[in-house]
Amino acid sequence: MLKKVLPAAIAASLLAGATATTSQAAEISANVSLVSDYRFRGISQSDEDIAIQGGFDLGFDNGIYIGTWGSTVDFDSIDGFDGSLELDYYVGWGMDIGENSAIDVGYLYYDYPGDDGDEGDYQEIYGSFSFHDLTLGMAYSDDYYGETDKFFYYYADYSFSFGENWSLDLHAGYNDLEDDTTFLSDGQDSYTDYSVGLTWTVLGVDLGATYVGTTLDEDEVFGTDWGEDTVVFSIAKSM
């Protein structure tokens, strides 16, 4: 899932099994994680506090997958966005197209139940191409968070493992906002986010530390520290 590949995101599978659906083999999985700060595209979604996250996925042998993912959120610093939960629903298709390359395309809907004021819900379509350890991708929304008009996101990820239980993940993303008057508090219409993450797997538990930042300052993020550089710690369990 595109969104959860970004900083402070998806944990590993907790439950995996096999079932049969219309003669097409499928695999069901679930994931759960605890993070010290839920950062999405570099900006805190939890008021720089702890967030609990988890989801379920159903993937088929033909490359089609569907799933849902949720996280606690806290936007109380912004009038009208007072919900405490984010729920994502997605469907996509991913497939190897060579020995070391793959593609992934899909649709993702972000739901923020409990918002009393401005409408937080929005949708995106996304796509990515992976070659060896490098992934290049983009996402597009016709009306971004808070009904703030069109949005494009371009990103690059590079991940590799070293040793038996260590992995390093590098990320850079460019956020391009069509409307330069509403999403960020001072009318900023674009920014860059970046991260460097290290994961250590020990006794089946994934421990992570990710340095996350943006090119934004307080005036551009509603007078908060939500876009400033920080280190996000995470813990995940897989089996």
Q: Could you tell me the two tokens for 79? A: 């009038």
Q: Answer for the pair 141, 122: CB distance below 8 angstroms, yes or no.
A: yes
d(CA 135, CA 126): 13
| 182-202 residue pLDDT tens | 667 666 678 999 999 999 999
pTM of the prediction? 0.85
- Total structural domains within the chain: 1
The candidate with the shortest Cα–Cα distance to 38, out of 76, 6, 80, is: 6
Query: What pLDDT is recorded for position 185?
Result: 64
Q: Which pLDDT score, from 0 to 100, does residue 238 have?
A: 75
Tell me: the pLDDT tens digits for 22-43?
445 789 999 999 999 999 999 9
Q: Which domain holds residue 130?
A: 2-237
- What gap in Å lies between CA 179 and CA 82, rounded to an integer? 23
Q: pLDDT > 70: what percent of the chain?
A: 82
pLDDT at 202: 92
Q: What is the per-residue pLDDT across 69-106, written as a single tens digit (0 to 9) for each? A: 999 999 876 666 677 899 999 999 999 998 899 999 99
Say how far apart CA 116 and CA 83 lie, in whole Å. 8
Calpha distance 82→70 (Å, rounded): 16
* CATH, residue 118: 2.40.160.40
Tell me if residue 4 falls in helix, strand or coil: helix
- The one-character DSSP state at 180 is S
Residue 7 has pLDDT above 60, yes or no: no
For residue 67, which amino acid is it?
G
